[in-house]
Amino acid sequence: MTVNSDRSDVVLDIERLRTRIETPRGVVHPVNDVSLQCRRGRTLAVVGESGSGKSMTFMSVLGLLPAGGTIESGTVRYQGREIDPTDKKAARQLRGKAIGIIFQDALAGLNPSFTVGQQIADVVRHHEGVSRAKAKEKAIETLGLVGIPNPRERADYYPHQLSGGMRQRVMIAMGVALRPQVLVADEPTTALDVTVQAQIMELLDGLRRELGMSLVIITHDLGVVARYAEEVAVMYGGRVVEHGEARQVLKNTVHPYTEALLRSSPRPDADVGELSPIPGQPPNLLAVPSGCSFHPRCHRANGRPECSRDIPLLRSLSPESQLTACHHAEEMALQKVSK
């Protein structure tokens, strides 16, 4: 299933990916039948609550699964060629050069005992095998690219000498040092102030344009989706439950979970009246509810038997670019039209 059948600009193509992790308490599937396409020069947002599988999807692709984790089925293609993320050497080549990643706990990712310039230069040397001096030049150039003033001087700073926003810029510099085709930014602004958040998002958006990258933003902030993403995939319990153009998904959602997310979030620009919290909690992967895994919390299930019996498959609804995994999506769409 794709939102757009034209594949000519698809750089990274994830098809029906299913990942399993063996834990002491049983086998879990944090990524379950996930298909996503990253397109050149475009921004894809992946949203969903904690534990929904956003990070695991890209960790699977990059061969960075935790112990006990494997890809059970599905294919990953980079620039049309199938790749095997479980092949350690291939995965290492892919990381950084083809796909850059800014990890979720980014600030922990910097080594406190090396200067930031050294750390970026190491990435460059490791992949491109250039001289120390060349790598250092590239590091300085990249620090400038991510908007760090006086990069030549700052390259000799240690992480603790920089502010949180500056450190996040350094992490981004590591992610783009090799000028990858795809940049995955996993919650790039979660721990930052709104003002710095805005600066970082503008930076990522600018880099996407400048370097012609495909940008993936993993986030839980629907405002970020609205402002920066062309396309969005909403995940729940390891599955993509709604996928489409950002505008469509946010304005004319055809999945009850997305609808519930929107209704439970206050807004900075308007009074929303009373919030409608989603009852209960996200699913426990060791005991995923039967049928639609959202059914115990869904305000539209109304005890309908198919909801707790059959897993709804992701399918397209008109407009064709919008995909939903809900048995009652037509009903939702109709209600919206009649309103």
Partner 1 sequence: MVAETVEPTTAAPYIAGDEAVLRVENLTKHFVKKRLGRPTTAVKAVSDVSFDLAPGETLGLVGESGCGKTTLSRLILRLIEPTSGRVIVEGKDVTRLSKRQLREFRQRVQVVFQDPYASLDPRQRVAASVAEPLTNSKLSSDEKLRIVHETLERMGLQRAQARLFPHQFSGGQRQRIGIARALSVTPKVLLLDEPVSALDVSIQAQVLKLLQELRDEYRLSYILISHDLSVVRHVSDRVMVMYLGRVVEMAPKEELYTAPRHPYTASLLSAAPVPDPDVERTRERIQLLGDPPNPASPPPGCAFHRRCFQAELVAQKLGDSEVTVLEDGRRVPRTCAEKQPVLVTQDATKHWSACHFPLSREAVATVTA
Ligand X SMILES: Nc1ncnc2c1ncn2[C@@H]1O[C@H](COP(=O)(O)OP(=O)(O)OP(=O)(O)O)[C@@H](O)[C@H]1O
Q: What residues have CB less than 8 Å from 324, skipping those under 6 apart?
A: 241, 242, 243, 254, 255, 314, 315, 317
62: three-class secondary structure by DSSP: coil
Angstrom distance (rounded) from CA 239 to CA 126: 35
Contact between 54 and ligand X per CB under 6 A: yes
312: three-class secondary structure by DSSP: coil
Contact between 322 and Mg ion per CB under 5 A: no
Q: How far is the CB of 307 from ligand SF4 (least distance, A)?
A: 3
Residue type, 283: P
* Alpha helix positions (H), the chain: 54-61, 88-97, 116-128, 132-145, 151-154, 164-176, 194-211, 222-228, 246-251, 256-263, 305-309, 329-338
- Asked whether the CA dihedral 46, 48, 50, 53 is positive or negative, the reply is negative
Contact between 94 and ligand SF4 per CB under 6 A: no
Contact between 256 and ligand SF4 per CB under 6 A: yes
Residues 265-294 that bind ligand SF4 (CB under 6 A): 292, 294
* Partner whose footprint covers residue 53, from ligand SF4, ligand X, partner 1, none (CB < 5 to 8 Å by kind): ligand X
Q: Return the residue of 102, 173, 307, 323 that touches ligand SF4, per CB under 6 A.
A: 307
Instruction: State the number of binding residues for ligand X (CB under 6 A).
Output: 15
Q: Which residues would be at the binding site for partner 1 (CB under 8 A)?
A: 49-50, 163-166, 193-199, 201-202, 220-227, 246-247, 250-251, 260-262, 264-269, 271-272, 274-279, 281-282, 297
Instruction: State the number of binding residues for ligand SF4 (CB under 6 A).
Output: 12
- Answer for the pair 168, 106: CB distance below 8 angstroms, yes or no: yes
Nearer to ligand SF4 by C-beta: 70 or 335? Answer: 335
Angstrom distance (rounded) from CA 224 to CA 12: 22
Nearer to ligand X by C-beta: 150 or 284? Answer: 284
Contact between 66 and ligand X per CB under 6 A: yes
Contact between 55 and Mg ion per CB under 5 A: yes
Displacement of CA 336 from its chain's centroid (Å)? 29
The pair phi, psi for residue 18, each rounded to 5°, is -135, 125
The full length of the chain comes to 339
Q: How far is the CB of 299 from partner 1 (least distance, A)?
A: 12
* Residue whose pair of structure tokens reads 């979720």 in the numeric block: 104
* Partner whose footprint covers residue 29, from ligand SF4, ligand X, Mg ion, none (CB < 5 to 8 Å by kind): none
The pair phi, psi for residue 273, each rounded to 5°, is 70, -150
Q: How far is the CB of 281 from ligand X (least distance, A)?
A: 12
Binding segment for Mg ion among 54-62, 133-141, 221-229, 285-293 (CB under 5 A)? 54-62
Name beta bridge partners: 315. 324
* Partner whose footprint covers residue 26, from ligand X, Mg ion, partner 1, none (CB < 5 to 8 Å by kind): none
Q: How far is the CB of 275 from partner 1 (least distance, A)?
A: 4
Q: Please report, as ranges, the residues that interact with ligand SF4 according to CB under 6 A.
A: 256, 292, 294-295, 298, 300-301, 307, 312, 326-328
Q: Please report, as ranges, the residues that interact with Mg ion according to CB under 5 A.
A: 55, 104
